[in-house]
Structure 1
């Protein structure tokens, strides 16, 4: 009787593994055939270069040096789903933009969100703006600016124009939003393949 129970248990496990394998293979096929982000506008990096884009991480880091000597660094990753109508991309990109003037240790930092405007590209929203006296300063007494939404609308517009002048314009945000979604999809497919391989080996 114990031998029969073992056989039944092994048979049940094999059937479950086979079902899981079929579901995994179906999901992989679906991801390849859907090409959700293949027909989207690529956008452009402009003068930025990808400084960090590890296949194992969710984030990317981009940098550029302006002719004026200013250094601009951008770090970004995907945030929560946006659920904005007919959005081409399901998730918003969360982005930090840091700008450093030559010869100074102070930094301007902007916390931003980039979301899709349907088929019309991407939209940049500034959430917060900071002046950091030193890149190594952790002084809690540093004055924190008011929330960005409470600033004078004209000042908000000018801060946004300032970012555009540093290369954070629509073509760049189009590239960033598409790149991050493709990166996530690639990581998801790789994860599915690893599961498929593990289940298939266990079924042999």
Structure 2
């Protein structure tokens, strides 16, 4: 009787695994056939180079060194899905842009969001501008600057113009928006395939 119960449990588990495997394979086939985001690469890196882009990581890191010696670093990853948007990309890009001038330890950091615009391109939203005396001084009690929304609108506009002048223009934001969506899509398909491979060995 115990052996019969064991066989029944194994058979029930195989049925459950097979059902999950069927759904996984259907999802993989759908994702591969839809080619979602695969043909949507727009924009360009400009003068930036990719400093970090591991296949398993969610973020990318770009760097640029200006003729003046100033260094610009851009760290970007996808944020949560946005609802009610009209653009072709469902998620926002969360981006940090840091500037460091030669001979100074201080860093100027901008927190930004990039989302799909109504004309199929990207829109850059500036959400924070911070002065950091040193990369080693990042504790929470450090005063980094006021809430960005409380700044004079003219100053907000000029800070955004500063970003664009340093290469954070629409070409780059278009690139990040499309590239990160494609990267995440490839990671999702890879995750599905790993689950399929693991389950298939037990069926």
Provide TM-score, normalisation by structure 1.
0.94
Whole-angstrom distance in 2 between the partners of 1:68 and 1:114? 27
Deviates more, 1:16-25 or 1:114-123: 114-123
Whole-angstrom distance in 2 between the partners of 1:183 and 1:140? 32
Q: CA RMSD in A?
A: 1.5
- 2:158 corresponds to: 158
- 1:76 corresponds to: 76
Deviation at 1:141, TM superposition (A): 5.9
Deviation at 1:84, TM superposition (A): 3.9
Whole-angstrom distance in 1 between the partners of 2:197 and 2:28? 12
Deviates more, 1:79-88 or 1:145-154: 79-88
Deviation at 1:69, TM superposition (A): 1.4
SS at match of 1:61: strand
Whole-angstrom distance in 2 between the partners of 1:92 and 1:31? 21
Q: Structure 1, residues 152-194: CA drift from partner, whole Å, max 9, x if none?
A: 1111111001000111001100111111111111111111111
Assess if the C-alpha contact under 8 Å between 2:74 and 2:95 holds in 1: yes
Relative distance call for 1:140 and 1:81 in structure 2 (3 A) is closer
Assess if the C-alpha contact under 8 Å between 1:41 and 1:121 holds in 2: no
Whole-angstrom distance in 2 between the partners of 1:76 and 1:179? 11
- 2:60 corresponds to: 60
SS at match of 2:194: helix
Deviates more, 1:118-127 or 1:14-23: 118-127
Deviates more, 1:52-61 or 1:143-152: 143-152
Any gaps of 5 or more consecutive residues in structure 2? none
- 1:51 corresponds to: 51
Deviation at 1:11, TM superposition (A): 1.4
Matched length:
203
